[in-house]
Structure 1
Amino acid sequence: MDAATAKPSLSMKPSPSFRLRNGSLNALRLRRVFDLFDRNGDGEITLDEMASALDALGLGADRAGLEATVGGYIPAGAAGLRFGDFEALHRALGDALFGPIEEEEPGKRGVDDEDEGDMKEAFRVFDEDGDGFISAAELQAVLKKLGLPEARNLATVQEMICNVDRDCDGLVDFGEFKCMMQGITVWGA
């Protein structure tokens, strides 16, 4: 079965934020996910790395199902998915789960209700206690779940908070989070 005819089949409920409407945010998020899954940093995600990452996120997929879904996107002779292959898999899964993205006229969209909703959902991932703020402890907990080395040092996490904390209260509110996310640009995307 080739990538064009492979039917995505992971048996998990899709999140509405699977595919953000904002292209720059989606490209950045996808690159970060790729880098998290690529544990050894060799530029390819093997099936073992993907299974391990999904397990760590609590989204475990059985090996046969994962191989059936992902296998068609791994080029012949490659050990795993390269970033372009990962993008194609993500796009195919998004199309299968939500339908194809409709092309828009350039400059037509700004930050609309869907973008705002995507950002609120992303904010809630970090705001674990639901108080409307991201604390250093909450950010550290999420970074730990993702297996990122920055999570080891609370001072590093506090510095990350300070970089976006405009009112210097030691917390990131939704407005600060939104400004940070809107300011992200992806070079070469």
Structure 2
Amino acid sequence: MEAAACKRSLSRRASSSLFRLRCPSLNSVRLRRVFDIFDKNHDGVITVQEIHQALTRLGLETDLCDLESTIKSFIKPGDIGITYEGFVSLHQSLDQTFFGLELEEEEEEEEEEDLTEAFKVFDEDGDGFISAQELQAVLGKLGLPEGKEIGRVEQMICSVDQNHDGRVDFFEFKNMMASVVVRSS
């Protein structure tokens, strides 16, 4: 009974724009980056706790019970967590379960919404721009080494900042995301 309640709770949360993992252009390179961010100790396995911590740091509150009930079927017997292959299967399963097949126009709208949500994670003060300090804060929350080096973060901002105002607006963010996507055929 408790597992069923967890699944219903996750279903409601998963259909919200904050929990969505689906993006038509999300490919294996980007999915691998997400896996590596969750894999804090770099052992090739992510535990439910590691996923929960990463989502919480990004402001995406999840219930540990929800995560456990969703992920357990993707963990190989004897493993303590999910491997990259299991993570890909989990992503594909969530994609099919919650979003199914959609028209191309709807996919483009969802991609725009996903980019907007991703932008909001970095734009902590909500002013419509990502500053070096905001980027550094998010990278730090994720435990990435770049989060400790403001000079490196400023270089990252400069590499995306097309109008040279020292910060990244949504248009620049969108262009940057489009340039890192490797389209699959």
CA distance in 1, matches of 2:158, 2:177: 15
Secondary structure at 1:41 match in 2: coil
Structure 2 letter corresponding to 1:79: I
Structure 1 letter corresponding to 2:44: G
CA distance in 1, matches of 2:91, 2:69: 15
Report whether the alignment pairs 1:101 with 2:86.
Answer: no
CA contact (8 A) 2:45 2:82 kept: yes
CA contact (8 A) 2:44 2:83 kept: yes
The share of aligned pairs that are identical, in percent, is 46
Q: How does 1:105-184 map onto structure 2 within 5 Å?
A: 112-184=108-180
Greater share of residues in helix:
2
- Compute the displacement of 1:160 (Å): 0.6
Structure 1 letter corresponding to 2:108: D
CA contact (8 A) 2:27 2:183 kept: no
CA distance in 1, matches of 2:87, 2:7: 13
Alpha-carbon distance change, 60 to 157 in structure 1, aligned in 2, over 3 angstroms:
same
Matched positions, count = 176
Q: Which runs of 5+ in 1 are unaligned?
A: 1-6
- Compute the displacement of 1:163 (Å): 0.9
CA contact (8 A) 1:54 1:61 kept: no
Structure 2 letter corresponding to 1:61: D
Give the 4+ runs in structure 1 shifted more than 6 A. none
CA distance in 1, matches of 2:50, 2:110: 32
Deviations 1:18-67 (A, max 9, x none): 134332x35444322211111111211123433443444452533x5443
- Partner residue of 2:24? 22
CA contact (8 A) 2:30 2:181 kept: no
Q: How does 1:1-16 map onto structure 2 within 5 Å?
A: 8=7, 11=10, 13-14=13-14, 15-16=16-17
